[in-house]
Copies of this chain bind each other. A is one copy, B any other.
Amino acid sequence: MDLTKHTISTLSELMGKKEVSPVEVVEAALNRVEEIDGRTKAFVTLCEKEARQAAQQAEKDIAAGNHKGPLHGIPLGIKDIYYTEGVLTTGSSKVFKDFVPDYDATTVKKLKEAGAIILGKTNTHEFAFGVITPPTRNPWDLERIPGGSSGGTGAAVATAMCMGGTGSDTGGSIRIPSSLNGIVGIKPTFGRTSKYGVIPLSWSLDHTGPMCRSVRDAAFMLEAMAGFDAKDPYTVDLPVPHYAGGLEEGTAGLRLGVPTDYFSEPVDPQVGAAVEKAVDVLRGMVASVEEVSFPHIQAAPVAELFVLCPEASSYHDKYLPEHEGDYTPDVLAYLKMGYLMLGVHHVKAQRYRKLLRGDFEAAFKNVDAIVTPTLPVTAPKAGEDFIKVGEEDLQITRLLTRNMVPYNLTGLPAITLPCGFDSDGLPIGLQIAGRAFDESTIFRLAHAYESATDWMKTPPL
């Protein structure tokens, strides 16, 4: 069967009707990995045996009338910083090269309970600390990066090697690879999903979330992953909405905000044009489109670094003395930078978050969602450190994280979905952000836009 023609939603419907079996789907997924992944290098560990066993069990369960729901029998890719019981979990680092956890991350456990099948572990930029994710390549152009840090999930889902996957997002690591690979990814509200059993990068900025081939699929996956977890003190004990059930509830009453500052400074002209067109499409679906601005936002990238680096170095403190030579040079450089940052500056950066959150709370008094380009550019070429936007050569990491970090610092939910392609055939992403714990509204808007357009494609690999 041809998985590229499917989403979780369409497959699960067919499985429910017993027109397709989980065994078929998993075999098709494994075939596709065999066929493609030598080039994309999205997976670091395949769970062939376990996946086949799980597929047979799912087939039996469904045949016996016990269809657990939309994720039952669906093959997923799990980012290699998520603990998976009995399966290597390396964080794509030599430091953890032999680590096999004896339990699942809470979100992995929840996905399994929903019937999902773990096809394998996907490559991450080492310890989720970067946006390049070597050696994974972008399936839209193998000379280009998939973004990161969840680049493996991005490439695997875009090519339908699996139907969805997990990412984590500290400074854009779900949304960057989702945008660059032309798929849907959501960073939920801080506290909505558990981080228990996920190798931390920065406790106060990390988020877990899904990456999928449609908005509906992301709604299914987030609903399965979300919820209070006594093992993660950051999770919030709020009911988890039935996100997919609300997708059709209509957008006519919503007010949309478009920032006048920061998010398009700079932006590639083709990306800017695609996002403007997307806003025009949305304009026809909502009550109003209004300008919003954020007085304190310019400090966001610096604050992000001063929060993130000391937290990351604090975690890696126990590994660095023995393993300094096992880290890649770029991650080691960040960790060393984390040791140079003073407590005073970390404190100021943490306090800045309240100011920025205040800016967004003020904006959300007048609008229900905020629309921006996900990234200022499409996928950069591998091996390049700088990319030209207009007249300026800009550092890639700074550029790709720029529109991301305001939502890590504030913890507000943000989704990205495809909104076009540039003249090189590379996908462009649209970011829609919402109020705290109001993922429902951004899912609804994203679904309405997705239904009115049709930008989800599969790269011709």
Contact = CB atoms under 8 A, between A and B. Distances in A.
A310 B351 CA distance: 12
B203 A344 contact: no
A343 B338 contact: yes
Nearest to A338: B344
Interface of A: 203, 233, 306, 309-311, 313-314, 317, 338-348, 351, 354
Given A233-B354, A354-B233, A347 B344 contact: no
List the number of copies, as a whole number: 2
Q: Name the 7 nearest CB pairs between A and B, nearest first.
A: A310-B343, A343-B346, A341-B343, A314-B347, A314-B344, A313-B344, A310-B344
Given A203-B351, A351-B203, A342 B310 contact: yes
B346 A339 contact: no
Contact of A309 (B339, B343, B351): B343
Nearest to A315: B347
Contacts of A338: 343-344
A347 B347 CA distance: 9
Contact of A339 (B233, B311, B342): B342
Contacts of A344: 310, 313-314, 317, 338-339, 341
Nearest to A348: B314
Contacts of A311: 347
B233 A310 contact: no
20 contacts: A203-B351, A306-B343, A309-B343, A310-B343, A310-B346, A310-B347, A311-B347, A313-B344, A314-B344, A314-B347, A314-B351, A317-B344, A339-B342, A340-B342, A341-B342, A342-B342, A342-B343, A343-B343, A343-B346, A346-B346
